[in-house]
Chains A and B, each alone.
Chain A
Amino acid sequence: MSGAALLDVRGLSVRFRSDAGPVAAVEEMSFSIMPGETLALVGESSSGKSVTALAIMRLLAPPPSCVIDGQVHLHDAGRTATDLLSLPEPAMRRVRGGKIAMIFQEPMTSLNPVTSVGAQIAEAVQEHAEASPRTAWGRAVELLDLVGIPDARRRVHDYPHHLSGGMRQRAMIAIALAGQPRLLIADEPTTALDVTIQAQILDLLRRLQRDTGMAMLFITHNLGVVAEIADRVLVMYAGQVVEEAPAQVLLRAPLMPYTSGLIRSVPRLAAARTPGVRLAAIAGNIPDPRDRSAACTFSPRCAHMLPEPCLRERPPMEVVAPAHGVRCARWREIAA
């Protein structure tokens, strides 16, 4: 399986320095992304999903503020794999925006407010290919058109503040596409948008992926969005992957109690108010990354928790079916 992978992450751990000692933000993450595949990374705040993406892109602070372990292999069309974590910075700069591009949640703060969107796209084009300013500008117009900005020839002169939230996110996507990436990392790209605009952006990403064949690492907290876009899903809790499965399997038959709790806590249209009925909430709060016990990290909130085996040790990731992994010591009894 890993032979054909585009990106192969092995044993990725990220620790931040703090006054109270090291804080483990991500622990022992391993996963791979196939060419053209959409892998969703799902989790709530402080689960480590954004830190994982930033570690892959090497956008975190250098040691000692932040210590990264593990390997991130980028495979280039069957040729030798490159470990991004040991790549010299100049080579890494060519990877960023070239082989791997990234878009963020907040399109306003991610764009430069004092240059036109056209200039920002053209800059990205010239960063990754030999192109004259004139060619790059023409490419900027093409890219804006590709991401569905109407009247691209005129809008290319607009500044970010001229654009609505949805249009800004389209401009961000145009910049990301400028280097013709093999992998697009999208960190909560629709969270700041209205639902009707979210539907437009998801539609756009699906179309671009179909046309370009790029793979996508889609980071989100929204399981409804996962159902729309993901082929495979990794669920993160407290810095670890707790379940991994194809999207349909994960959403229909989750095995980890956290995953099923999270799916149940999402309000559904179909369950519109019946008097007396309550949402299925998960009790308790998301654990503080500073105090992570030696037990299963979800055990304080888990309805299926038993002192033995849940508090004895952290369960390992167990492969329960092809492409389906679960980090739960009691999954067999719970599923039964």
Chain B
Amino acid sequence: MKPAPFAYAKAKSLDHAIELLARPDGEARLLAGGQSLIATLNMRLSAPKLLIDLNGVDGLAGIAVKSGMVEIGALTRHVEAERSDAIAEHAPLIALAMPHIGHAAIRNRGTLGGSIAFADPAAELPACLVALGGEVEIAGPRGKRTVRADDFFKGLFETALGPGDVLTAIRVPAATPESRVGFAEFARRHGDYAMVGLAATAQADGKGLGDVRLAYFGVGNIPLRARKAETKLTEGNIDDAVQALAADLDPSGDVQATGATKKHLAGVLLRRVAKQLMEQP
């Protein structure tokens, strides 16, 4: 299908984008990589009146490590993160997740900020952000603010972003020698959205793990922490952690799998990811 008619404007700056967004009808959408947005326009799942193209706005792309945090500009493309030495070294969870996101042609265009702002419940990056305990930087009509990942994802495709807001960057704590990360997902075809996925972080604590954070995706409306399983994993018991998932997760079925299948797969993933967390040097 073809998109319904809309107007197109190229934002000259962040302020210009915010100014263009401030329409009384609220029917403007930001265009970043467009790899989800244009698909939804083509399918007429949405029909905004105005697209504001952020591509070309200076200062929104790039990867920087400062004050113990890795800052990734919203317009940074997946391919840049995938090939970044800074990401591999300081944000290894994102490096692990990157090859699972879309396909080469998608990663050449898609942006990290776009993926977080779109908040697809089956997408990899929102779960990574939650697992890492990261934060989101937002610019809006009333200035800038920072929102923690745990507070950012509100509901199905719903985030802390207001209609006049632009997501400008994400920040995650830079890895330390004690950091452990794990990532696994099931998808029918490599690069497709996951049926179930798991992004995890922990801190090495002697021979065990501390501060385990398990963020599942594809099993709810937002990335979901499996808190009871986290506790069990901290106690070092993988079997108990898998058992605990029964209380943590209650996925609905979708076109890809039933809720029961997803629940089973969540346990399989937990075993794989627990192994990754425990086996890192």
A binds B: no
